[in-house]
Amino acid sequence: MGLAYDTTRKADPEITRRLRSHLQVSNGSKILDIACGTGNYTVALENTGLHMTGSDISKEMIKKAKGKSKTINWEVANVNRLHYENNIFEGVTCTLATHHFDNLLSPFKEVFRVLDKGRFLIFTSSPEQMNNYWLKEYFSEAIEKSANQMPNVGEVSNVLKTVGFNIVGHETF
């Protein structure tokens, strides 16, 4: 997995700008990017002045990520059992990855544990959003299959609240 991952995936500058803005942290803040894949957004956020740690369960993804930045702390890690100390990060991001989690409760508990009064930002698609894509008219089966993999907004919000997070808001893109 991950051999041709970066062929079609790049960090979008507008999404990066919005993530950075919503983190509401100063330059040099320690931010964890969970399920970072090959690190496109991790690197983009580092370039905005943040001290980034990127973690992913895939050794292949982290190997590719390491070639993109020598200053980011890249680690193979399972989101269900993060090996970081409590309250160590000033923010946590998760970009286009929640659909890969077996469940949301364990990873969100771990994020809550390692986060020190900062924000947890999730950028993802939802079934509600995907079912309204114009492409659904042409690729209905593929879009439906993809949408069914995604956790819905209500489920994500409920699990975040269960863990102890306060929902600041939702933003569409």
**What confidence tens digit (pLDDT) does each residue in 39-92 have?**
999 999 999 999 999 999 999 999 999 999 999 999 999 999 999 999 999 999
- Residue 33: in which H helix or E strand, if any? strand 30-34
Amino acid (1-letter code) at residue 122: I
Q: What are phi and psi of 157, to 5 degrees?
A: -60, -45
Residue appearing with tokens 């879009």: 143
Choice among 67-81, 96-110, 114-128, 153-167 with the minimum mean pLDDT: 114-128
Pairing mode of beta strands 89-95, 115-123? parallel
Which residue in 146, 143, 126 sits closest to 135, CA to CA? 143
- Classify domain 5-124 by CATH architecture: 3-Layer(aba) Sandwich (3.40)
3-state secondary structure of 93: strand
* Average pLDDT score, the chain: 90
Tell me which of 4 and 172 has the higher pLDDT.
Answer: 172
Can you tell me the distance from the alpha carbon of 173 to that of 163, in angstroms, rounded to the nearest whole number?
A: 26
Residue 39: C-alpha distances to residues 42, 137, 156 (Å): 5, 32, 23
Residue 81: C-alpha distances to residues 25, 55, 86, 117, 146 (Å): 25, 12, 12, 20, 27
Query: Per residue in 109-124, pLDDT tens?
Result: 999 999 998 999 999 8
3-state secondary structure of 143: helix
Q: What is the mean pLDDT of residues 140-151?
A: 77
C-beta separation of 6 from 67 below 8 A: no
DSSP lists the bridge partners of residue 127 as none
Residue 149 pLDDT exceeds 80: no
Can you tell me the distance from the alpha carbon of 31 to that of 121, in angstroms, rounded to the nearest whole number?
A: 11
